[in-house]
Amino acid sequence: MTPFVTLFHWDLPNCLQLEYGGMLSDQIVKDFVEFAELCFQEFGNRVKFWTTFNEPWSYVVHGYTPGDDFSEDDTTGDNSTTVQRSSQRARMHLPPNRLSRRIRRFDSTIETTRDTWFPVNDPATDAYTAARNLLLCHSAAVQSYRQKFQMYQNGKIGIVLNSNYHYAFDSTSQDDQDAVQRAFDFMLGWFLEPVIYGQFPASMLQYAAGNIVPFSDEEKKGLAGSVDW
């Protein structure tokens, strides 16, 4: 059996969330690299395949955008409603998800402390900010692995992404085809294009221009090609 080790699967230490807002702060990069290097040092002689992040889209979208569960009154026999309700309930349990009323109902203590997690909470930008910092964590960890460990541990490092597949409602419509491309860009491309080319998809920079910060030239150098598999 060959181990594939994931460094981060949505389990950010609560102390870092409380200290500076977790993925909403670029301070997370230094801490993530320190954690990654500890793992490389301790397990690199046995682990030859590393994953920095698992499904980052799920983490930033379900953890940093508004979401709440359907009320009991919304229960119907309609299958689509059932699927939507199930999806929304799943969203509730991805931390930090400050905007879920379910967590506030269950634990009033969390409700009073969560404001300190997000000193400036903006649902329009939080997911983009978290994604950007997450990708910088990935880039920094990959650079560290390649510079300090890869030459004698002979391992590889990458990232695991998730995406839905999208079809054009009308395959003969250029508008529908463009919509499909945007859907891919805002899900798969959001994280794939930076680790391949060093920058967010052009459509994201166009349509989310007021909410997303492009990577600098220096950041692009570190991101481009930052996957071995």
Pinpoint the alpha helices (H) of 44-78.
56-64
| Residue 217 pLDDT class (50, 70, 90 cuts) | very high
Per-residue pLDDT band for 110 (boundaries 50, 70, 90) equals: very low
Q: Please report the pLDDT score of residue 80 as a whole number.
A: 41
Over the stretch 24-54, which tens digit does the pLDDT of each residue have? Answer: 999 999 999 999 999 999 999 999 999 999 9
Contacts of 37 (CB under 8 A, 6+ apart): 144, 148, 149
Helices (H), 56-157: 56-64, 79-92, 101-106, 108-113, 126-148, 150-153
pLDDT over threshold 90, residue 133: yes
> Please, what is the angle between helix 126-148 and helix 28-43, to 10°?
40
Give mean pLDDT, residues 92-117.
51
Q: Is 111 exposed, middle or buried (0-12, 13-18, 19+ CB in 10 A)?
A: middle
Domains detected in the chain: 4-65+123-223 (3.20.20.80)
- % of the chain beyond a pLDDT of 90: 71
Joined together, the tokens standing for residue 223 give: 């991101």
Checking if the pLDDT of 96 tops 80, the result is no
pTM of the model: 0.83
Residue 67: pLDDT band with limits 50, 70, 90? low
Question: Is residue 105 scored above 80 in pLDDT?
Answer: no
**pLDDT per residue over 173-211, tens digit each?**
999 999 999 999 999 999 999 999 999 999 999 999 999
Closest CA to 197 of 171, 226, 176: 226
- pLDDT over 90 (residue 219): yes
Banded model confidence at residue 124, pLDDT cuts 50, 70, 90: confident
